[in-house]
A and B are shown apart, each in its own frame.
Chain A
Amino acid sequence: MPSNFRLLPLAVLAASPAWAAGGSVAGNVKAGADSPFSWVVYLERAPSLSAAPASAPRKEIVQQDIKFKPEVAYVPLGATLDFPNRDKFYHNAFSASPGNQFDLGLYRGGVTKSVVVREPGELDIYCNIHPDMYARVLVLPSPFYAEVASDGSYQIKDIPPGKYTLVAWSPRHQPARQEVRIEAGRQTAASFSLKARPFPERHMNKNGEPYGRYK
């Protein structure tokens, strides 16, 4: 899914030769019997994306069959989220998540509306008229992240030495955090065990009211 972003860290690192002498962090992420679908491990408070490419990437989240597709995504800070409406009727996309609040209004089939994500963190995105539509997007704060493999393993390489917060994120589990110290030329071990959380969560419409006239 977010494969179009996988090369981004490399591009940033190529522009920063000092980081090439960094260390790495690796480990496992587990959450009971759940498979690591769209799980990500990333560094908080790491060097920012100031060296990011001028043209920020885009991520398309399609509105089709009264669903957001995909329902889960992760994007770098500054990315543009495109919401094409491919149903024949109206849709909306809004988020009340702190830092990235937006409301694209109602728009008809065939129209695409977009939003730029300006704050790192998690966005829960809903449609104001279809309560069963939801998407959860993680806005990554730094180029230092890795998608968790199907066996639960991960590795983030070429991290500048220093002390960081390492976060394991899953759309259906509580994010878990660890403090890690990265040393040049060495691999630090860090593993996580995640606890489940509801997804989608019960939510109101954009006005903070229950949906519809089904009262």
Chain B
Amino acid sequence: MNGCARSLGAVALAVGLALAATGGSLAGADEPPEPPPPPGGEGGPAPSPSPAEPANPPPSASSLSVFGGVRLRFTGYLDIGFFDAAGDGVAYVRDVGKKLHPEETDVPWVFLGDPWSNPVNSQGDSADLGRDRTTIPRFDPIASGGKPSFLVNMVNLGMVGGAGEKLLFEFSVDFEPRSGTLGSSGDQIDIDLAYLEWMPWKSRDIHVFAGKFESTFGIEYRRRKAPDRPGITPSLIARYTTGTPTGLKLRGSLLHQKVTYNLGLTNGTVTTEKFAHFFDELDTNAGKTVSGRISFQLPLPFTLEVGASGLSGAQDLQPSARDRYNQYGVDLQLVAHDLTVRAELLRATADGGGVTRAPSLNARGGFVEAFYQLWPWAEVLGRADFRKARLLTYPNLYLSDTARATVGARFDISPNAIGKVEYLHIMERTGPELDDDVATVSFVFKF
């Protein structure tokens, strides 16, 4: 925490500079093609009322018509950050000599804490993944060593296209400039989304997706991207819910969107690629994963949506269809005037083992977060989340029992420009308490 305290001034300065530098010129930009964060309170800038200005603005010019009626629209954003992680930037520690867990005789290494509990950006990159103490291959995208650093969190480029009114496609590519090691450039390119969307009936809210699409589990995936996320960092359970699986999906609603449903048949789970262990781009076994969510919007004077999700399938990254990965959870979203509250709980299990010694998992976790639109241009937020997990990726056993408290603020400088600041206090509830808090700042420009 000392490290973070040291740089809180720098963080504040960075936010101030970002606001000062962008406020004047960008605040006037009012014809953006891409929406800011959606309902009920994540959008929001700027104060001064302006007089009505009679005009006849033309229809949107944000989409192009090319090649015989196929509409194309470019999307994307740039996310630049600055962060400071306390201690050595690592959020877990080895149980040397198994002093705290002598009962774990079947595994060579036992680690306490959660390597991914101290993220610095919206995709959940840890401040530092620590020294590679074992033979498990891994890429440490930040490796800060506890030193404060500027970084380009992400450059995202995408395209949305439509042919007629019933067929759409979208792709989205993430670029992350990172330091290279041992002949590797380090830079990351990830095709985040690539799907066709078919809407068979104009009058019915039914969508069929094929390709690599958004998650079918929970609600956090809706705001996983930096421009959409009210704060900066993902929750502790985002690793289980915000991945983009490949396969087929059906999504629709009934009763004027009071009931929505999602059903997926995919290669694997909706865990995120960065957190590995349970994710296949291409399937390695014959079993497929079935997932789904159903939600209800209750008839109340405010918006209250409750949902339940489930997922079950052959465990990824191993050849057998008999080893299972199962996950279920519940979620809630409440929007009342300027206040938004979201919560989610889940349980995830994976058999593991088999011929490839696949990882095994027994995890539960959840979060509750609240956002309040203070002024048209400023929002404050708080989040409490926890994760308790036993993750065996032989020869490593990670025993995590972590809770976090997060506070932050978001400044919508213009529809295109967003500044965010966040502080995460991380508590290890078993084992040694680590000095691993994170202060992080993000400036997002989107189009």
Q: What are the residues of chain B within 8 A of A208 when measuring CB–CB? A: 63, 71, 162, 165
Contacting residues of chain A (105-131) with chain B, CB-CB under 8 angstroms: 105-116, 118, 128-130
Whether B56 and A108, one on each chain, are in contact in the complex, defined by CB atoms closer than 8 angstroms, is no
Q: What are the residues of chain B within 8 A of A212 when measuring CB–CB? A: 35, 38, 222
Whether A89 and B31, one on each chain, are in contact in the complex, defined by CB atoms closer than 8 angstroms, is no
Whether B62 and A209, one on each chain, are in contact in the complex, defined by CB atoms closer than 8 angstroms, is no
CA distance A94 to B31 in the complex (A): 12
Q: What are the residues of chain B within 8 A of A202 when measuring CB–CB? A: 202-205
Whether A94 and B228, one on each chain, are in contact in the complex, defined by CB atoms closer than 8 angstroms, is no
Whether A66 and B39, one on each chain, are in contact in the complex, defined by CB atoms closer than 8 angstroms, is yes
Whether B53 and A116, one on each chain, are in contact in the complex, defined by CB atoms closer than 8 angstroms, is no
Whether A103 and B60, one on each chain, are in contact in the complex, defined by CB atoms closer than 8 angstroms, is yes
Contacting residues of chain B (42-71) with chain A, CB-CB under 8 angstroms: 42-60, 62-63, 71
Binds A, one of B132-140, B280-288, B347-355, B373-381: B373-381
Number of interface residues of B (CB under 8 A): 63
- Interface flags, A192-215, vs B, CB<8A=1, else 0: 000000000010111111101111
B239 within 8 A of A: no
Contacting residues of chain B (156-192) with chain A, CB-CB under 8 angstroms: 160, 162, 165, 168
Task: With both chains docked as a complex, state the minimum distance between the C-beta of A53 and any C-beta of chain B, in angstroms.
Answer: 16
A149 within 8 A of B: no
Residue of A nearest to B414 (CB): A108
Whether A90 and B45, one on each chain, are in contact in the complex, defined by CB atoms closer than 8 angstroms, is yes
Residue of B nearest to A204 (CB): B165
Which of A90, A94, A114, A116 has most B Cβ within 10 Å?
A: A90
Task: With both chains docked as a complex, state the minimum distance between the C-beta of B79 and any C-beta of chain A, in angstroms.
Answer: 16
A46 within 8 A of B: no
Residue of B nearest to A208 (CB): B162
State which size class the interface on A falls in: 35 or more
A96 within 8 A of B: yes
Residue of B nearest to A118 (CB): B56
Q: What are the residues of chain B within 8 A of A128 when measuring CB–CB? A: 35
Q: What are the residues of chain A within 8 A of B60 when measuring CB–CB? A: 94, 103, 206-207
Q: What are the residues of chain B within 8 A of A114 when measuring CB–CB? A: 52-55
Instruction: Tell which of A84, A102, A213 touches B228, judged by Cβ atoms closer than 8 Å.
Output: A213
CA distance A80 to B257 in the complex (A): 33
Whether B43 and A89, one on each chain, are in contact in the complex, defined by CB atoms closer than 8 angstroms, is yes
Whether A106 and B30, one on each chain, are in contact in the complex, defined by CB atoms closer than 8 angstroms, is yes
Whether A209 and B162, one on each chain, are in contact in the complex, defined by CB atoms closer than 8 angstroms, is yes
Whether B39 and A130, one on each chain, are in contact in the complex, defined by CB atoms closer than 8 angstroms, is yes
Q: What are the residues of chain A within 8 A of B49 when measuring CB–CB? A: 110-112
Q: What are the residues of chain B within 8 A of A88 when measuring CB–CB? A: 41, 44, 338, 373, 375-376
Residue of B nearest to A91 (CB): B43
Contacting residues of chain A (126-155) with chain B, CB-CB under 8 angstroms: 128-130, 132
Q: What are the residues of chain A within 8 A of B51 when measuring CB–CB? A: 112
Contacting residues of chain B (4-35) with chain A, CB-CB under 8 angstroms: 30-33, 35
B213 within 8 A of A: yes
Whether B209 and A215, one on each chain, are in contact in the complex, defined by CB atoms closer than 8 angstroms, is yes
B40 within 8 A of A: yes
CA distance A207 to B59 in the complex (A): 10
Task: With both chains docked as a complex, state the minimum distance between the C-beta of A129 and any C-beta of chain B, in angstroms.
Answer: 4
Residue of B nearest to A129 (CB): B35
Residue of B nearest to A80 (CB): B54
Given contacts A128-B35, A208-B165, contact A90 B57 (CB under 8 A): no
Given contacts A107-B30, A110-B376, contact A115 B40 (CB under 8 A): no
Contacting residues of chain B (327-342) with chain A, CB-CB under 8 angstroms: 337-338
Whether B162 and A110, one on each chain, are in contact in the complex, defined by CB atoms closer than 8 angstroms, is no
Task: With both chains docked as a complex, state the minimum distance between the C-beta of A211 and any C-beta of chain B, in angstroms.
Answer: 8
CA distance A84 to B251 in the complex (A): 34
Given contacts A94-B60, A202-B202, A215-B209, contact A105 B32 (CB under 8 A): yes
Q: What are the residues of chain B within 8 A of A108 when measuring CB–CB? A: 44-47, 376-377, 412, 415
Instruction: Tell which of B32, B42, B57 touches A115, judged by Cβ atoms closer than 8 Å.
Output: B57
CA distance A162 to B52 in the complex (A): 41
Whether B38 and A130, one on each chain, are in contact in the complex, defined by CB atoms closer than 8 angstroms, is yes
CA distance A90 to B46 in the complex (A): 9
Whether A106 and B56, one on each chain, are in contact in the complex, defined by CB atoms closer than 8 angstroms, is no
A101 within 8 A of B: yes
Given contacts A108-B376, A114-B52, A213-B222, contact A207 B62 (CB under 8 A): yes
Given contacts A108-B376, A112-B49, contact A103 B57 (CB under 8 A): yes
Given contacts A118-B56, A212-B38, contact A110 B50 (CB under 8 A): yes
Whether A209 and B56, one on each chain, are in contact in the complex, defined by CB atoms closer than 8 angstroms, is no
CA distance A204 to B213 in the complex (A): 19
Q: What are the residues of chain A within 8 A of B223 when measuring CB–CB? A: 213
CA distance A84 to B207 in the complex (A): 34
Given contacts A108-B377, A129-B35, A215-B214, contact A90 B58 (CB under 8 A): no
Given contacts A90-B45, A202-B202, contact A106 B35 (CB under 8 A): yes
Instruction: Tell which of A118, A129, A209 touches B36, judged by Cβ atoms closer than 8 Å.
Output: A129
Which of B50, B57, B204, B373 has most A Cβ within 10 Å?
A: B57
Whether A90 and B36, one on each chain, are in contact in the complex, defined by CB atoms closer than 8 angstroms, is yes
A82 within 8 A of B: yes
Supply 19 further A-B pairs (C-beta < 8 A) apart from A90-B45, A111-B50: A84-B52, A88-B41, A88-B376, A92-B35, A102-B59, A103-B59, A106-B31, A106-B415, A108-B415, A112-B52, A113-B53, A113-B55, A114-B54, A204-B165, A209-B73, A210-B168, A212-B222, A213-B223, A215-B213
Cross-chain pairs A/B with CB under 8 angstroms, 5 sampled: A89-B40, A106-B35, A109-B376, A207-B60, A214-B260
Which 5 residue pairs are nearest across A and B when measured between Cβ atoms? A89-B43, A89-B44, A109-B376, A129-B35, A110-B49
